[in-house]
Amino acid sequence: MAEKTTETDTQTAKTALMSRRSMMKGVAIVGLAAAALPTMAENAATQASGSVPPIKDPRAKFPNDQPTQAQAWPGLQRDMTPRPDCGETSYRGTGRLAGRRALVTGGDSGIGRAVSIAYAREGADVAINYLPQEEDDAAEVIGLIHREGRKAIAIPGDLRAEAFCRSLVARTERELGGLDILVNNAGYGWFLPDILEHPSEKFDQTIKTNLYAPFWLSKAAIAVMKPGSVIVFTSSVTAFSPSDAFLGYSATKAAIVAFTSALAKQVAKRGIRVNGVAPGPFWTPMQVYFGAPDDNVSSLNASTPLGRIGQPVELAPLYVILAEDASSYVTGSTWSADGGRL
């Protein structure tokens, strides 16, 4: 998603935003440092065996020259050029989520796909939800999870219906034998820079997908979760630096930060942790369906301090660490990964 700060902020709002940004940065640094730990352990093992992987420059690790392209919503990452990197060939697990049972919404593509692959490689059984039009992307993810020897369940359906959300959790719990991790990741947004041309239907779809669905899913999940379980939300840096072109979307992503914090306080007494991830711009189907101008992705690449938008695989470590026992004192937080953009 594009993050374009409005020019009309008052000085007071700017000051408030700056202090919130600094807060988020601090949290993000702690989060990423912690997420890097297993890689360091792996590196130590590799060094002991004599082959040291080359250190990589984060600016050059992934492309920043995606050709202009557009698809109809909800889009298929199978048809993107280049295809997003969701860790299909690169993510290496070390058993950090062995035996866990996870439900990931939007698990077919983009960020949710990277999370599903990483969770399976860390030893979890995974159910994914997606829209029926996304069956081709979902089938690939199911195949990748099976390849890890983990259970994979495909549950297509529209999250805008409360009854479906309840049945999604019930089916996951029944077929995986329990539910330890819920990742509320599915989301919807549309590029609409003028409120006068913002259809109520798009506003409604944004709120239903981004807020009602996580509310219904969390409610159903918490009723069956045991102490030690976790919920992870996908917010966005638009929560902290709202974009004028994503009015309703930015509002829902800010609401998710508050929802995460409030829910964490509520369910701490049940031993359940609740956290969120706030991505910056990432190369996913969302970038090609949401109706942005042709130069949107190239300007995102150019305006990000690291010089490129992110790839979903670069977010997976945050979702892993928030879900694992090692982060048992982390709850109510939202961690950011945005290439330095916020």
The answer to the question of residue 284 lying near ligand NAD (CB under 6 A) is yes
The answer to the question of residue 248 lying near ligand NAD (CB under 6 A) is no
Q: 209 with 160: CB under 8 angstroms? A: yes
Chain Cα centroid distance, residue 289: 17
Shortest Å, Cβ 128 to Mg ion: 10
Token readout for 110 is 């983009």
Q: Using CB distances below 5 to 8 A depending on partner kind, what does residue 35 bind out of Mg ion, ligand NAD, none?
A: none
Q: Using CB distances below 5 to 8 A depending on partner kind, what does residue 160 bind out of Mg ion, ligand NAD, none?
A: ligand NAD
Binding segment (CB under 6 A) for ligand NAD, from list 115-123, 266-274, 277-285, 329-337? 277-285
The answer to the question of residue 74 lying near ligand NAD (CB under 6 A) is yes
In the window 134-153, what residues touch ligand NAD (CB under 6 A)? Answer: 134
Nearest CA to 2 among 212, 295, 207? 295
The answer to the question of residue 209 lying near ligand NAD (CB under 6 A) is yes
Site pattern 7..46 for ligand NAD (x: CB under 6 A): ----------------------------------------
- Contacting ligand NAD (CB under 6 A), which of 286, 297, 320, 330? 286
**What does the H/E/C string look like for 191-258?**
CCCCHHHCCHHHHHHHHHHHHHHHHHHHHHHHHHCCCCCEEEEECCHHHCCCCCCCHHHHHHHHHHHH
- Contacting ligand NAD (CB under 6 A), which of 248, 285, 317, 339? 285
249 catalytic residue (yes or no):
yes
- Contacting Mg ion (CB under 5 A), which of 85, 134, 148, 173? 134
Q: What's 95's DSSP letter? A: S
* DSSP output for 270-318: GT-EEEEEEE-SB-STHHHHS---TTHHHHHHHHSTTSS-B-GGGTHHH
Residues touching ligand NAD, count (CB under 6 A): 30
The answer to the question of residue 111 lying near Mg ion (CB under 5 A) is no
Token readout for 147 is 């390849």
The answer to the question of residue 336 lying near ligand NAD (CB under 6 A) is no
* DSSP output for 104-170: EETTTSHHHHHHHHHHHHTT-EEEEEE-GGGHHHHHHHHHHHHHTT--EEEEE--TTSHHHHHHHHH
Q: 181 with 122: CB under 8 angstroms? A: no
CA-CA distance, 137 to 79, in Å (whole number)?
10
The answer to the question of residue 129 lying near Mg ion (CB under 5 A) is no
Residues 200, 204, 207: CA angle, nearest 5 degrees: 140
CA-CA distance, 106 to 128, in Å (whole number)?
7
Q: Which is nearer to Mg ion, 125 or 134 (CB)?
A: 134
Of residues 119, 130, 249, 289, which has the active-site annotation? 249
- Contacting ligand NAD (CB under 6 A), which of 236, 241, 296, 311? 236
Binding segment (CB under 5 A) for Mg ion, from list 42-50, 103-111, 242-250, 330-338? 103-111
Residue 230 CB coordination number (10 Å): 24
Nearest CA to 334 among 237, 250, 212? 237
The answer to the question of residue 319 lying near ligand NAD (CB under 6 A) is no
Shortest Å, Cβ 133 to ligand NAD: 9
Where in the sequence numbering do the catalytic residues fall?
249
Contact footprint for Mg ion (CB under 5 A): 108-109, 134
Contact footprint for ligand NAD (CB under 6 A): 1, 74-75, 106, 108-112, 130-131, 134, 158-160, 185-189, 209, 234, 236, 279, 281-282, 284-287
